[in-house]
Each structure stands twice: as structure tokens, then as C-alpha cells.
Structure 1
């Protein structure tokens, strides 16, 4: 068994080498303290939504086409780069050490690549709040699932990061994957570039699938918690189950309203 594990780790190290920029200063000590600040950030975010909508109520919406293209493009590039690096890493661990290792055991959490991208991933949830600013300033409909999802994902991400939850690796992996497609779509739409009409439906379907898979990973993590070395907490299981459950309901409802009812087409989630 030890030989097999050493071989797996050797194969992993051979296939996935960090780039120089990924070996920069470890941000985790700073971000561990950020958990408390995340509540304040969400509170300010919600207050700014109220203030912003009130300010724009009697004003004409801004076009902001150029800034929106740049904004969506930058987030698309970040998501694509993160997807390539993390999907390759998680895939290697999955095929060399098994699903249980990726869901339950945190041996990979201290890897240089994971430390770098998970730190950026946590910070990106703050940056993504800017999506709401574009919606408000352009006077587009701000639906509940948008601001609820942004708020709770920010809190849940910082919570999982602080507690080094192994199943958070898949949360990051799936989220980056969906966002790489979603922000590419937003970039094309803002630039008025022709794209497949089915793309919005595909994105929403992937978002729903992400919630299903996240719930499954959480349940597996809880089932395997009795095994030596498996790390999870009842608190994390409860909140992940609650959040993924509400996300699934909200996104499924949006899917039904946007694509199944004969009411015209809608955009994925928020834009």
C-alpha cells in the first residue's frame, strides 16, 4: 500500500509542476483572518445594492459596453486558467489516488498549486460582486438568485478555505469550470458577437449539475467521516447541504421560468 501511495504521489509530482508565479508568497495566513471580514463585505454589498437601485431609480441606465466587455473578458481568462490548472490537478489525484482522497482527505491542500489558486479563488468571489454593479448601473433586472448566490458563495468559500475542507477542492474545480463558460458567454454577448442560442441554457444546466454534484460530494464526505484521516465537520456538512439545496431549487426554478415556459428567452442566472 505504501509503495502504491508513493508511486501515486511520484506520478502526481511528475505530471503537475507549479509555475514560478504559483510559488509566490502564501496568502493563506492573511485569508484565514478574512473569514470574519467576509460578513462585513457581504453586508456592505447588500447595502450598496439598496443604495444603487435607489440612485438609479430616476436615472437612465448607462451603456457601459466597453467596461462590461473588459470585465467579463478578464474574469473569463482567470476562470479558464484556473480551470486548466485545477482540473488537471484534481483529475490526476482522482485517477492516481481515488475519489475518496479528493473528497475526504486533505493531503493535497498544502500543495503549491492548490494554495495559489485557492487563495485567488477566495479573492475572486469579492471581485465577482462587481457583476451586480453592472446590472444596477445598466438598469437590468436584479433577480433574487443573483445576489443571494453571490453573497452566500462568498461566505461559504471563505468558511471552507479557513477550515481547509478537502471537498472544497471540487467546489472550486466545478465553479471555475462553469464560470469559464459563463463569463466567455457574457463577453461575447456584451461585444454583440454571435453565439449559439442554446448556450445560456447549457450554462444554467451546468450550474444545476454543479449543485447536484456538490451535494453528492458533501454526502460522501459525511459518510466517510469515520475513516481515519478523513476530515469534515457536522457544521460544514449542514451548511453545504443547505446552500447546495437552496441553489438547486433556485436555479431549477430559473431554468423552468427562462427556458421551459413559453415566455421568451432569458440569460443565465443574472445578466
Structure 2
């Protein structure tokens, strides 16, 4: 039986969709399914290019790229801020104003608006665009850690598979991610111009990243409970639940380890202590 995708609302009491945000949900999901091999190829090429370019830069001078970094980080910060403004009203309204709000926000399409679905799709596409973060690290000859490229590749899988199924949990994950990115890219835009930012800011952003991973794992555990132990309807595919549990769980452990080593273990001074993730 062919999957039936929901038809979101154009207008609602918490947010109204603009004309450019109204789109064919089923067509978008089917396009992602059709382009899955291309997505996997992009990930493979990304990993290969990381290895090749990292070796090639060993004998090269580090590049400054200050102007490019300012433009790159500023545009991503603005996009993330707009994405948060457009996606936050829906889960906030459902969780705070509706009975069984957490369940409805995670497992159902009730009160769903086109604006949320559109900016969730933009979020998926942006995960590929943000692979450019790694290029700046390599060309500037900064330290490229495992957490950085592991997060970049796995979050593409997580969001891509999620949108293929039009997973309702996206309405919770996307605004969290946009919120953190708005502050993270603003931080990096300032740092690229050598503007002094208090260390407590970077510490707060990293702590918020860890919180996001904890919440993501928690949503997966809650979804698994609904699917396995109750008779309540949940539109989340079991594959996505297990994938989310594994990926968010691994993020939580890796980010917590990074947080400890960056802020509480004596080490050489670094340019920044925030892991630039997407």
C-alpha cells in the first residue's frame, strides 16, 4: 500500500504559511526517496575529499578566508534564525495548548502547518550545504576532529530518511536545531573577524548542543514506548526511531566527552571550543 502523506494547513491560530511555503508534500518526499543514491554519493565524496584535501594541505600555507567566513556564517545564521521563527510556533502551540501535547507533537500530524513542513525541508537541504564548514577548517589548517565529520555525515542520513517518511517528530527537532545554529553561526561570524567573545558564550552553546542530543534521544525512547507498548497511533517509522536513538545517543556521548575535554581538562589554548556541527 502506498504511503499517504498529510495535507498541512495553510492558516492556523499560531502561524500562517506564505505562498512560497505552500508545496506538494508527497512530491517532495518522493523526490528525496528517488534522490537517495545521490545523497549517499555526496556523503561518500565528502569523506573522500576530506582525506585528500587534508593531506594536500599538509605542505600548504593556511588560508585566512576572513571575508568568506563572515559571509558564510552570517548567511547561515540569518537562515537559521528565520527557520526557527517559522517552525517554533507549531510545536510550542501543540505541547503547551493541547491535551496530550507531547504525544500529538511527536506522533501525529494534528495542527500541522505548511510553514513547518517547508522549513523542515530547507533544513534537510542545508545539511548538505553546511558540509562547506569542513572546507574552511581544512583550508585554514585547523584541527579536524572525528566528532565534526561524523556529525556532518550522520545528520544528513538522519534528516534525509526522516523527511522521506515525513516524520512528525521533525516539528520538534527542526526548531531546536535552527535555534542552536542561529547562535552558533553568529558566534563564528564574530570569531572570524577576531571579535572577542566571552568564553561563557561558547560554553553555553556547547551545553545547548548537548541538551539537543539528550532531547533527541529522549524523543526516540518515548516514540519507541508508544510504538511497542501502547495501542496509540504513531506515524513514526520504527526504522527512524532506532536510527534516531543510535545517532542521538552517539552524539550525546561524543559531545559530552568533548565538553569535558574542552572546558574542564587542561589543554592548549584553541581558537574556539564549539564543535561546528550541523
Same fold, judged at TM 0.5 (above): yes
Which of residues 255, 258, 262 is equivalent to 1:254? 258
> Which residue number corresponds to residue 241 of structure 1?
245
Are residue 268 (structure 1) and residue 274 (structure 2) matched?
A: yes
Whether contact under 8 Å (1:35, 1:162) holds in the other structure is: no
After superposition, the C-alpha distances for 1:40-72 in whole angstroms (9 at most, x for unaligned) are 111010011011112211110111000011000
State the partner residue of 1:95.
Answer: 96
Q: 1:54 to 1:41 in 2, by over 3 A?
A: same
Seen in structure 2, the aligned counterparts of structure 1 residues 89 and 259 have a Cα distance that, compared at 3 Å, is same
Residue 25 of structure 1, CA deviation = 6.6
Moved more, 24-33 or 253-262: 24-33
Residue 54, structure 1, aligned to residue 60, structure 2: no
What is aligned with 1:77? Answer: 78
TM-aligned CA deviation for residue 166 of structure 1: 1.5
Q: Decide which moves more: 167-176 or 144-153.
A: 167-176
2:14 aligned partner: 15
Inter-partner Cα distance in structure 2 for 1:151 and 1:108: 32
Distance in 2, matches of 1:240 and 1:179, equals: 19
Q: TM-score, normalised by structure 1?
A: 0.90
Could you tell me which residue of structure 2 aligns to residue 183 of structure 1?
Answer: 185
Structure 1 distance, partners of 2:78, 2:24, is 22
The range that moved more, 119-128 or 92-101, is: 92-101
Map 1:206-245 onto structure 2 (within 5 A): 206-225=208-227, 226-245=230-249
**CA distance in structure 2 between the partners assigned to 1:158 and 1:231 by the alignment:** 16
Secondary structure of the structure 2 residue equivalent to 1:148: helix
1:134-178 CA-partner distances (Å, limit 9, x unpaired) = 001111100000000000001111011101222222221211111
Alpha carbons 1:167, 1:218 under 8 Å: kept: no
Closer, same or farther: CA 270–13 of 1 in aligned 2, 3 Å: closer
Most deviating of 143-152 and 173-182: 173-182
Match of 2:164 in 1: 162
Secondary structure (helix, strand or coil) at the match of 2:148 reads: helix
TM-score using structure 2 length: 0.88
Query: What is the alpha-carbon distance in structure 1 between the residues aligned to residue 93 and residue 275 of structure 2?
Result: 31
- Equivalent positions of 1:116-127 (< 5 A) are 116-127=118-129
1:71-120 C-alpha deviation (Å, 9 max, x unpaired): 000000000000111112221122233111001113355x3112211111
After superposition, the CA RMSD in angstroms is 2.0
Alignment correspondent of 1:106: 109
Q: Secondary structure at the match of 1:198?
A: helix
In structure 1, list runs of 5 or more residues that go unmatched: 1-8
Q: Could you give the per-residue CA deviations for residues 190-242 of structure 1, whole angstroms, max 9, x where no partner exists?
A: 12223222111111100110011111111111112233431223322221111
In the comparison of the two structures, how many residue pairs are matched?
Answer: 261
Could you tell me which runs of 5 or more consecutive residues in structure 2 were left unpaired when the two chains were aligned.
1-7
